Amino acid sequence: MAGSAHRGGAAAGHVAEHGAGGAATRPSDYIWALARISIGWVFLWAFLDKTFGWGFGTPADRAWVGGASPTTGYLKGTARKPLGAVFSPLAGHAWADWLFMLGLLGIGVALILGVGLRLAAVLGGLLLLLMWAAELPPEHNPFMDYRLVYALVIVGLALVNAGDTLGFGRWWGNTALVRRYPFLR
pLDDT digits (tens, 9 = 90+) for 132-175: 999 999 889 999 999 999 999 999 999 999 999 999 999 999 99
Cβ(66)–Cβ(60) below 8 Å: yes
pLDDT band at 65 (very low <50, low <70, confident <90, very high): very high
Q: What is the pLDDT of residues 81-115, one digit of tens each?
A: 999 999 999 999 999 999 999 999 999 999 999 99
Mean pLDDT (whole number) for 46-62 = 95
CA distance 69 to 51: 9
pTM: 0.85
Q: What is the pLDDT of residues 142-152, one digit of tens each?
A: 999 999 999 99
pLDDT band at 6 (very low <50, low <70, confident <90, very high): very low
Query: How many CB atoms are closer than 10 A to CB 166?
Result: 18
The per-residue pLDDT for 1 is: 42
Cβ(33)–Cβ(160) below 8 Å: no
Bigger pLDDT: 14 or 88?
A: 88
pLDDT band at 24 (very low <50, low <70, confident <90, very high): confident
Q: What single DSSP character describes residue 24?
A: P
CA distance 89 to 78: 10
Return the percentage of the chain with pLDDT > 90, whole number: 82
pLDDT band at 23 (very low <50, low <70, confident <90, very high): low
Q: What is the pLDDT of residues 68-80, one digit of tens each?
A: 999 998 999 999 9
